[in-house]
Chain A
Amino acid sequence: MEIVRPTTLDDALAARDALPGADLLAGGTDLMVEVNFHHREPEHVIALRRVSEIAGWEGRRIGAGVTWTRMEKGPLRALAQLSRTVGSPQIRNAGTIGGNIGTASPAGDGLPYLAALDAEIEVASAGRGVRRLRWDEFLVGVKQTALRPDEIIIAAILPEVMPVAEEFAKVGVRNAMVISTVSACVMRMPDSTWRIALGSVAPTVIRARRAEELLGTTAAPRGSLLAEVADAVAAEVRPITDHRATEAYRRHASGVLVRRLVGRCAA
């Protein structure tokens, strides 16, 4: 196994160009698990931690190398909430938003936030330069993305218009350090529309569009509307049954989570 350790983005992209099949290593919290279990046997690894251009976080632009620990202490409420639920402090010191996007797990804790915001993923390659894809153009399946073999994830780009209220929560077997059974992010926007995104309940993170429509621009939904929203969410998600939970439970819990988060975001 050969490890390339570039210190600039240009060098990283050049390495990516030269070794198109190489695995990208950021915090290693996903990649090293796969290597340990022989699910992946990399010939070439490009380690990105020394690349300073992707390590920064300025305003709406969160560099791919920004760790959970930094997001946990950052100004964005739901992003901080979700970051706190990721692994242990050691894992949060290592794991990055870019790695979470690149792994594209349905249970990726950062993805509901990006989906709710309609965030864009910025990628670059040596030959074609920079391009941006909306989250749902980028995340195309279970652990599948639109990233081309010569590209590297550079940043997550948040929109100019940010929510007035945002909340994240997840259901798991215990309070922390656990893979989510269901995760949800709910936002109320300045124009009073709602955004609802869920993780672990479909092949990719999804938006609950029907529930968003039901909420419309109701600033403080109550009673029967909340119940309708919960039912809509439960109907929209497409979860599976496995040894962690049943489909029925995941559907139900999705509705409950969204109902509660809408309540917390209400004006």
Chain B
Amino acid sequence: MSTTSVLGGIVRRREDPALIQGTGAYVDDIKLPGELHAAFVRSPFARADITSVDASAALAMDGVRAVYTIDDVRDLGPLLAQVPVGALRPLLADGAVHHVGEAVAMVVADDRYVAQDAADAVVVEYEPREAVVTLKDSASDRVKVNDSLESNVLMSWAGPFGMEPDQIAEVKAGIDAGKARDDVVVVSQEMTNQRLIPVAIEPRAVLADYNAGYNSFNVWSSTQMPHALAGAVATMFGLPTTSVRVVAPEVGGGFGCKLNVYNDEILVAFASRHLGAPVRWTESRREAGNSTIQGRGWVATATLVGTRDGEIVGYELEGLADMGAYSQNFTVAIPFLGLFVGSGQYKMPTYWKIDCVATNTATTDAYRGAGRPEAIYYLERIIDMYAREIGLDPAEVRMKNFVPAAEFPAATSPLGFAMDTGDYATNLQALLDHYDYAGWRAEQEAARAEGRNVGIGLASYVEVCGFAPAGLADLGFSWSAYGLPTAFNGSGVVRVNPDGTATVVIGTGPSGQGHQTTWAQIVSDQLGIPFENIRVRHGDTAESPMGVGTFGSRSAAVDGSATYEAAARVREKAAKIAAHLLEASEEDIVFADGAAHVAGSPDSSVPWADIASVAYQPHKLPEGTEGGLETHVVYSPANATWPFGSHLAMVEVDADTGNVEILRYACMDDCGNVINPMIVDGQIHGGLAQGIGQALFEEAIYDEAGNLLSGSLVDYPIPTAGDLPAYELARTTTPTDINAMGVKGIGEAGTIGAAQTVVNAVVDALSPMGVRHIDMPLRPRKVWQAIQDARG
């Protein structure tokens, strides 16, 4: 790898001035002349049959252009889903509703106020039916979530992965046999990993403009996957993909909730075509709770079998995962991502089975971490319980059971997945040494002696990212449902422009991740073109030949690798031209400081502007060299990447009120090589906030009728700066051998690492009182109640 100054150095995020000063354009900032506004009539019932929809009063209102029901759009078919297992969502409710907030009709009017008032004037008659809200109730199939389902249990993910059912049963039988040994303890706990609402600061928004002359659509959407949306619009309206241009401008946070094609996006496009005018829709915060995807929602029992001296004999996880009412983009595939990391950093026989269960609630899908935080939570909680049970330090138990460093690269996890690189013991030891773990424990003892309830939590994690490995493309890791039969590969176009500046076009787009900075660093490092002369373009399907999108901590490892390779190829060609201009040998050309130099001849150089100018004038090029200076690389990773780390938290619990205060939070993450430490730190900060938010505050609470009780930000408390500690960050570096830059991914690590670290700490604080487990979120009332219950 080249070692010029930019890569691996702190470069301030070039997108921040626009984002902070309000000059960046989000969907709602883009205004088209004559645009109309959509609003939705949404179901107040979790389950009901619709007996009539009367839009006459709404249609009679001034400024109302149209009211659409399923009869207008049934021909387009249901909303496309990448993993179409379970009930697919009709574009508008078709005779029945299956969750509160389901869209029943769409009103289009001259402005948003009229549209909303008219939506309220649409009269829908419902015949309410019994809703199925809780997982165990649903799994019993006592009542079907949807008449079209044969069972509410849509499918199961069982492992080890790749084994036949009888082989999996053998693994399970082996663990069961271990339970009978007389030298082991068996620790088991049912735990809830509660449902969460993603809460992007910018709600979803979409603006569609149909051009009748070209029979084409322009769509602006706050999405993480513009190419998939373009494919979906083209597929559903029967157009070639070239007739649909989707732009994802500035996107104000996604966290997975914008990693879906939504019915509103299709419907707004439909209305624009029908009415011959641009149509927009911007989600309200309440709609964000009821109608956009949620995440997590598992109830499962973790069981760990281990000897009294800390050797784990087997681990099992069995449970249910909430899919909600309809399957959308990935829905049932999310627990699969949990299966990938289900055995964590450990070498131990592992049996794993999660059933995907439908309920009459909002759809679930990818939320930051997506299956991996859930899987790691159960594992790391039960390991903590085991350590307490046998009276060993939780760090020691982990150390004893790690997959040894010697098995890497390409170690196979107990659940059957090939992991790239790892050195877990070194990482954990670095955590313990760097932060003086022994000192923390001494501090805890001193605090306890003063009567303070101070606890320390430790948890280790692996994540899997960089999707998708070539080997998984055939398993459905592609946008084929949206008419784009591309695997989840990386795309990078690097073009040196005639004036010697460079334009980079990538297939992922940021919703806060700093792509404009990171990709300019990658290309500047390769070409020696100054950082400020490199412009990174993203999120526009007309510019980028292909794109998968930003999710799953994949951008740097996959599209970054594509860009890195594209830049290397541009450099090769530029070296040829420079050698020609400098009358030197191609092998002696080096690029730095905005120019090509001849190694060993300091006076002999040619600036990029001159190389580029010649590149665009073929008659000045050496014979056999084509004009232009641009390369597109599609990169197919050989494997996923497996970042890892260990976190440490110290908390103090106020036993009188149940309030939890995080005194310290310390990380030792390993995401391979780092392109920009400041951006990596920022990703960890945000991820930790969301993980801590799950541990302490957040929960999508449904009542027995399927009403979301915590749909507003009054009742859905995301953490504020005042609730969070000053994070202490440090890293070990174990580069991946999968890609040339050695980068793994960091977008979700904080979220995957945090929740169980905090819960472990709280339980550690309360264990002298006999508290063994508290389900998240650890709100004061629940913590206090757990103390009361433990005290009897």
Are B714's CB and A181's CB within 8 A?
no
> Among B656, B703, B720, which residue has its beta carbon within 8 angstroms of that of A177?
B720
B142 CB–A CB distance under 8 Å? no
Are A174's CB and B720's CB within 8 A?
yes
For window 59-104 of A, CB contacts with B under 8 Å fall at: none
Are A246's CB and B722's CB within 8 A?
no
> Among A38, A177, A178, A243, which residue has its beta carbon within 8 angstroms of that of B120?
A38
Contacts of B658 in A (CB 8 A): 249
A25 CB–B CB distance under 8 Å? no
Q: What 0/1 readout, one digit per residue, does chain B (694-723) give for beta carbons within 8 Å of chain A? A: 001100010100000110001101011011
For window 652-675 of B, CB contacts with A under 8 Å fall at: 656-659
Are A181's CB and B697's CB within 8 A?
no
Specify the chain B residue showing the minimal Cβ separation from A182: B657
Are B723's CB and A175's CB within 8 A?
yes
Are B717's CB and A173's CB within 8 A?
yes
CB-CB under 8 A for A173 and B710, given A246-B781, A246-B785: no
Contacts of B659 in A (CB 8 A): 171
For window 709-744 of B, CB contacts with A under 8 Å fall at: 709-710, 714-715, 717, 719-720, 722-723
CB-CB under 8 A for A174 and B710, given A243-B715, A245-B781, A249-B785: no
For window 229-265 of A, CB contacts with B under 8 Å fall at: 243-246, 248-249, 252-253, 256-257
> Among A171, A174, A252, A257, which residue has its beta carbon within 8 angstroms of that of B697?
A174
Are B697's CB and A173's CB within 8 A?
yes
Contacts of B44 in A (CB 8 A): none
Measured in the bound complex, the distance between the Cα atoms of B656 and A252 in whole Å is: 8
Contacts of A253 in B (CB 8 A): 657, 780, 784
Measured in the bound complex, the distance between the Cα atoms of B779 and A179 in whole Å is: 14
Are A176's CB and B657's CB within 8 A?
no
Measured in the bound complex, the distance between the Cα atoms of B785 and A178 in whole Å is: 21
Closest chain-B Cβ to A200's Cβ sits at a distance in Å of 13
Contacts of A38 in B (CB 8 A): 120
Measured in the bound complex, the distance between the Cα atoms of B87 and A198 in whole Å is: 50
Measured in the bound complex, the distance between the Cα atoms of B382 and A255 in whole Å is: 36
Are A181's CB and B781's CB within 8 A?
yes
Closest chain-A Cβ to B206's Cβ sits at a distance in Å of 22
Measured in the bound complex, the distance between the Cα atoms of B715 and A244 in whole Å is: 8
Measured in the bound complex, the distance between the Cα atoms of B697 and A248 in whole Å is: 20
Measured in the bound complex, the distance between the Cα atoms of B717 and A257 in whole Å is: 22
CB-CB under 8 A for A256 and B656, given A173-B717, A174-B723, A243-B710: yes
Contacts of B780 in A (CB 8 A): 171, 173, 181, 249, 253
Among B656, B715, B723, B781: residue with most chain A CB under 10 A: B781
Measured in the bound complex, the distance between the Cα atoms of B656 and A114 in whole Å is: 27
Closest chain-B Cβ to A250's Cβ sits at a distance in Å of 8
Are B781's CB and A175's CB within 8 A?
no
Contacts of B697 in A (CB 8 A): 173-174
Measured in the bound complex, the distance between the Cα atoms of B120 and A38 in whole Å is: 10
Contacts of B779 in A (CB 8 A): 173
Closest chain-A Cβ to B719's Cβ sits at a distance in Å of 6
Contacts of A175 in B (CB 8 A): 720, 722-723
CB-CB under 8 A for A243 and B781, given A177-B720, A179-B714: no
Measured in the bound complex, the distance between the Cα atoms of B120 and A245 in whole Å is: 33
Are B781's CB and A174's CB within 8 A?
no
Measured in the bound complex, the distance between the Cα atoms of B714 and A248 in whole Å is: 22
Contacts of A248 in B (CB 8 A): 785
Closest chain-B Cβ to A100's Cβ sits at a distance in Å of 16
Specify the chain B residue showing the minimal Cβ separation from A243: B709
For window 736-792 of B, CB contacts with A under 8 Å fall at: 779-781, 784-785
Specify the chain A residue showing the minimal Cβ separation from B658: A249
Closest chain-A Cβ to B693's Cβ sits at a distance in Å of 9
Measured in the bound complex, the distance between the Cα atoms of B722 and A243 in whole Å is: 24
Are A171's CB and B714's CB within 8 A?
no
Closest chain-A Cβ to B65's Cβ sits at a distance in Å of 23
Closest chain-A Cβ to B102's Cβ sits at a distance in Å of 19
Measured in the bound complex, the distance between the Cα atoms of B780 and A145 in whole Å is: 32
Contacts of A245 in B (CB 8 A): 781
Measured in the bound complex, the distance between the Cα atoms of B657 and A175 in whole Å is: 13
Besides the known contacts A174-B720, A252-B784, 10 further A-B residue pairs in the complex with CB atoms under 8 A apart: A171-B659, A173-B717, A173-B779, A173-B780, A174-B696, A174-B717, A176-B722, A243-B703, A245-B781, A253-B780
Name A's B-contacting residues (CB within 8 A): 38, 171, 173-179, 181, 243-246, 248-249, 252-253, 256-257
Q: Which 4 A-B pairs have the closest CB atoms?
A: A249-B781, A256-B656, A175-B722, A245-B781
24 contacts between A and B (CB under 8 A): A171-B780, A173-B717, A173-B779, A173-B780, A174-B696, A174-B697, A174-B717, A174-B719, A174-B720, A174-B722, A174-B723, A175-B722, A175-B723, A177-B717, A178-B714, A181-B780, A243-B709, A245-B781, A246-B785, A249-B785, A253-B657, A253-B780, A256-B656, A257-B657
